Amino acid sequence: MSKNYTSLISELREKLKECKSPHDIANIKAYYLGKSGVVTNEFSKLKDASLEERKELGKSLNILKSQTQELITLELDNIQQTKENNDFTDVTLPGKNISMGSRHPISITINQIISILSNHGFTSVSGIEIEDEFHNFEALNIPDTHPARDMHDTFYVSDDKLLRTHTSSVQIRSMLSNKAPLKIMTPGKVYRCDSDPTHSPMFHQIEGLHIDKNVNFCHLKGVLINFIKEFFGKDMEIRFRPSYFPFTEPSAELDIKFKGKWLEVLGCGMVHPNVLSNVKINTKQYSGFAFGLGVERLAMLKYDIVDLRMFYENDISFLSQFKGLK
């Protein structure tokens, strides 16, 4: 290669060093290899050379061209590499405008329970909270003189109106209006005159009721065991034991073994024939089971909450811990 070309290449090297962007490189490429570029112009000198010279010159020019191309490509790669490095996103920086709130743990628990029970075919029904004696007590086989009324310390708002002590009143209303067959669940607020770390004057219940032909105690066990295992996990140890409710016969209580201790989580049983008669369902044709559970209790067990009062203080620092659950 002639001296002339060597200086051309070193000049190119200098120019490339000053390039900062692919755009700068493109300009240089046009300057040397474009239609009227420096290298292209050198090729035009070929036609003026003698035949002998032409052979030698052609060789040199081809080397010049390929060297120029090579240097430009190399620098372009270099620059792109740097650019990529500068574009790197630190994905660990905080996200913008995060505004996730949270559902209340009671709502979350109710939603979980409803979702499990819907899969068993239960329809959610709600009802009034200010009830009368008939729907809250009498229809449920709890007469005025019954000792079981001691278990329900009742708030009264007038001589004949009270705050429902359980959502069973909704079951009575549903049975009266819809007749059998029936498969319902009744989530809602209930009220009892009771207040200490484990009792609140207002709390939430969900009760289930299934009335149909040939419904028996084994069906009750099937639904409830399945429910507990879906809610707490399939390894949960469960036991049933006889208990007493005026509105079921036989009556049972379901306990779970929690941290080594048996804890009562729900009451259940076969619907008492008197209750069915009270709502004019034929007991010769239909039977049914019912169960009731306290939402707060399940939520406390599931989320390790020790003090019931946390639920109603509504401290944002408490509520925010339930982010992401529905």
| Residues of this chain, 178-207, that bind another protein according to CB under 8 A | 181-183, 189, 191, 193-195, 201-202
Closest CA to 289 of 192, 153, 183: 183
For residues 59 and 323, which CB has a smaller minimum distance to another protein in the complex? 323
List the interface residues with another protein, window 149-168 (CB under 8 A): 150-151, 155-158, 161, 163
User: Shortest distance, CB of residue 133 to another protein, whole angstroms?
Assistant: 14
List the interface residues with another protein, window 213-242 (CB under 8 A): 214-219, 221-223, 225-226, 239-242
288 phi and psi, to 5 degrees? -170, 165
Site string for another protein, 77-96 (x = CB under 8 A): ----------------xx-x
Residue 147 interacting with another protein (CB under 8 A): yes
Question: Binding residue for another protein (CB under 8 A) from 90, 145, 234, 259?
Answer: 145
Residue 281 interacting with another protein (CB under 8 A): no
The per-residue b/e assignment along 179-197, b for 16 or more CB within 10 angstroms, e otherwise, is ebebbbbbbbebbbeeeee
125 phi and psi, to 5 degrees? -130, 140
Question: Binding residue for another protein (CB under 8 A) from 2, 40, 73, 118?
Answer: 118
Residue 177 interacting with another protein (CB under 8 A): no
For residues 46 and 130, which CB has a smaller minimum distance to another protein in the complex? 130
For residues 52 and 101, which CB has a smaller minimum distance to another protein in the complex? 101
For residues 36 and 97, which CB has a smaller minimum distance to another protein in the complex? 97
Q: For strand 248-258 and strand 261-271, is the pairing parallel, antiparallel, or unpaired?
A: antiparallel
Secondary structure letter of residue 140 according to DSSP = G
- Contact (Cβ atoms closer than 8 angstroms) between residue 61 and residue 46: yes
Q: What is the amino acid identity at position 263?
A: L
Give the DSSP per-residue string, 249-302: EEEEEEEEEETTEEEEEEEEEEEPHHHHHHTT--TTT-EEEEEEEEHHHHHHHH
- Contact (Cβ atoms closer than 8 angstroms) between residue 205 and residue 294: yes
User: Shortest distance, CB of residue 76 to another protein, whole angstroms?
Assistant: 33
Choose the stretch contacting another protein; rule: CB under 8 A; options: 38-46, 58-66, 99-107, 299-307.
99-107
User: Shortest distance, CB of residue 122 to another protein, whole angstroms?
Assistant: 8
Environment class of 265 (CB within 10 Å of its CB; exposed 0-12, middle 13-18, buried 19+): buried
Choose the stretch contacting another protein; rule: CB under 8 A; options: 2-10, 11-19, 24-32, 117-125.
117-125
| Residue 126 neighbours by CB under 8 Å, 6+ apart | 170, 186, 187, 188
User: Shortest distance, CB of residue 68 to another protein, whole angstroms?
Assistant: 45
